[in-house]
Amino acid sequence: MITFFAALALLILGYMFYSKFIEKVFGVDDNTPTPAYAQADNIDYVPMSWWKGNLIQLLNIAGLGPIYGAVAGALYGPVAFIWIVVGCIFAGGVHDYFSGMMSMRHGGAQFPTLVGRYLGKNAKVFINGLSLVLMLLVAAAFTAGPAQLIAQITPISFIWALALIFAYFVLATILPINRIIGRIYPLLGGILLFMAIAVAVALVFSGKPMPNLTFSNLHPGELPIWPLLMVTVSCGAISGFHSTQSPIIARTMKKETDGRKIFYGAMVIEGIIALIWAAAGMTFFNGTEGLGAALAAGGPSGVVNDISISLLGTLGGILAIFGVIILPITTGDTALRSSRMILADLLSKFTKTDGTLRILLITVPLAIPTFYMATIDYTFLWRYVGWTNQVVATFMLWTATMYLLKNYKMHWISGVPAMFMTGVVSMYIFYAPEGLNMEYHIAAMIGSVITLAVALWYIAQILKYRAAKQVDSKYETV
């Protein structure tokens, strides 16, 4: 229990102190009008209070990610606590803050536009395709699960459940952000947080011993921690999907100082939720072996259902059903909304129609393949979300690093986690079953070579901008 509370305290301290340091490095100015006012359109650019932005951002980035991912990550043992804390404070929080604030500084620009601006046109082309694939996969995966449950507990068939969910998706995607998302999602975000806190309190008073971090139980499983843990637990530590969602809220910010509370704050809250569910998974089933058996028998939804009902009774059952049905839907619809915004940017030179008709014309082609993919097995889809998600996160961290380098600021705050995540994704794709499924040592060697090449590129960029800064300094002196 000491480890759990220590990890919780570190997450809170990380927000209190490190987020302020990150904000200071970025440099905020409340005298600069935000896009919500400068580009107001009553659809995407609508001013909202920071607390609404925080809760909407939390719901958009979370869904079932910090629940299912954390429960699966708990199989790795208490080392999952370390990754959640370190990843959230030094990687995820930085990633989310810069993805939101850079978007705000560039008129609410989408993530691929930022990549193109700071990493070049080739990177933009690659990340445009990858981002759209990621969001369609997320939307499909976060639709298939709820539709399956609806079909199990109601007379509604799976296909009709899909159709109902997608009808809502299209509606939420084309309507102004303050119509549905701005009114309902802060409440749902609050319920998500309440659900996690209720589980944490019940767990503490359940009498079950929480595992403490020791060298003997650091990693009781057989699966290698590197790089699998960093992909399994993404939401709650660092997730590239967040960078596709941040521009939605960046277009609603009233002032720049709200960014720390909205973006870094939502990431820390998600980290706390992941920490709670990782602890619940390890504690409730008396260790990783029991958790593994429970996951094999009922999957993550069954584990969440068992924990919620056993610890919270009838309320727990209601929360479990709410979580498994509502939370992924609210993430899926913003995934579709974000993909609509990215596609709109891509087609801006070719589409002249304005307003709702243009939005609808862009949304429908995205909804059709997403609907089809939602009919595919959920677990199959989710296997491919993980690596795609973390590649997007890596690109966002490098984008932030180049932004800081070009502005002669402290680039290592994003450069170090960018190098770390480069190592993760470089090896994962060669080792993972859904990748090339190579032997561990071969995948490690290939991943190391790729990471070294990227490190050399990073050093070259540092030297380049250091020289440029010296030249600028001479001109300023003259």
Query: 6 lies in a domain?
Result: yes
Distance between CA 219 and CA 335 in Å, rounded? Answer: 34
Query: 337 lies in a domain?
Result: yes
Query: 426 lies in a domain?
Result: no
Asked if residue 45 lies in contact with residue 177, where contact means CB atoms within 8 angstroms, the answer is no
Query: 412 lies in a domain?
Result: no
C-alpha dist (Å) from residue 211 to 16, 80, 106 = 27, 11, 45
Question: Number of folded domains in the chain?
Answer: 1
Asked if residue 319 lies in contact with residue 196, where contact means CB atoms within 8 angstroms, the answer is no
Q: At what angle do helices 265-284 and 288-346 cross, to 10 degrees?
A: 150
Query: 442 lies in a domain?
Result: no
228-243 as b/e: b if 16+ CB within 10 A: bbbbbbbbbbbbbbbb
Asked if residue 419 lies in contact with residue 458, where contact means CB atoms within 8 angstroms, the answer is yes
All residue ranges of the chain with pLDDT < 50 are 353-354, 478
pLDDT at 250: 96
Query: 406 lies in a domain?
Result: no
Q: At what angle do helices 50-62 and 181-204 cross, to 10 degrees?
A: 70
Residue 345, burial from CB neighbour count under 10 angstroms (0-12, 13-18, 19+):
middle
Question: What domain range includes position 323?
Answer: 2-400
Query: 408 lies in a domain?
Result: no
CATH number, domain of 250, equals: 1.20.1740.10
pLDDT at 353: 46
Whether cis (ω within 30° of 0) applies to the bond prior to 146 is no
Q: Within 10 A of 154 (CB to CB), how many other CB atoms are there?
A: 10
447-474 as b/e: b if 16+ CB within 10 A: beebbeebeeebeebeeebeeeeeeeee
Q: What is the DSSP letter of 64?
A: T
396-410 as b/e: b if 16+ CB within 10 A: bbbbbbbbbbeeeee
Asked if residue 341 lies in contact with residue 333, where contact means CB atoms within 8 angstroms, the answer is no
Query: 382 lies in a domain?
Result: yes
Give every CB contact of residue 376 below 8 A, 6+ residues apart in sequence.
140, 144
Distance between CA 74 and CA 69 in Å, rounded? Answer: 9
